[in-house]
Amino acid sequence: MDRCLMLVGGWDGHQPRQCADRIAPLLEAAGLRVAIATDLAALTDPAQMAGLALIVPCWTMGQISGEQSKALRAAVLGGVGLGGWHGGMCDAFRADTDYQFMTGGQWVAHPGGIVTYGVRLRDWDHPITRGLADFALTSEQYYLHVDPGNQVLATTVFSGNHQDMPWIRATEMPAAWTRRYGAGRVFYSALGHVAADFDNPSVLELTRRGLLWAAGKLA
């Protein structure tokens, strides 16, 4: 059975353990044996890293050592999938630009805090998005610095009506993407601020499919 390592920690405001507990059963139902690590030392433990199909960082902010970062990136370069959501993946380890290059983006703002916004699918033929529809979500709307090499699956548009930020009006921002990093598949969704966001069936299904794609379980 393929293994998945979920790295759960960092800032508690994103409810890392609660979110991981919502997602782990979906991965297990697809045939992945999920281990949850609350210490980044797992990345340099051969027993923890053996036989992995997928690594899921759920670790907003925090610090990662150079040795741990190198081990994580080497695993993905070698073919282990990487997938995650919201700040748990693309606001982790802010000082590590090598990590950001691997993930394809970095959070910089969520204008207006909790707002209602639309998510528009942009790649209808990808196995992650095939058959899904556009949807709305009330949560943080992430403004990100994004790698132009990403394959964008979904976007969101900023109204510019919040926090006196008219300059972002009509900005279309990637909200989900895939990319390659060496032999590894990488998936990211900006959705999933707290565990309750996964009550939205579209958010849950997009995340489930994206992680399974990264693990090589979705063609």
pLDDT of 160 strictly over 90: no
What is the C-alpha to C-alpha distance for residues 208 and 131, in angstroms, rounded to an integer? 14
What the chain holds in terms of domains, given with CATH numbers, is 3-214 (3.40.50.880)
What is the C-alpha to C-alpha distance for residues 198 and 86, in angstroms, rounded to an integer? 12
Per-residue pLDDT tens over the stretch 188-215: 999 999 999 999 999 999 999 999 999 9
- pTM, two decimals, is 0.97
Question: Contact 62/95 with Cβ under 8 angstroms?
Answer: no
110 three-state secondary structure: coil
Region of poorest pLDDT, from 111-115, 117-121, 162-166, 215-219: 162-166
pLDDT of 163 strictly over 70: no
State residue 148 phi and psi, 5-degree precision: -70, -10
Per-residue pLDDT tens over the stretch 62-80: 999 999 999 999 999 999 9
Q: In sequence order, what E strands does the chain have?
A: 3-10, 33-37, 52-60, 81-85, 105-109, 114-121, 135-140, 143-146, 151-157, 172-181, 184-189
What is the C-alpha to C-alpha distance for residues 154 and 174, in angstroms, rounded to an integer? 6
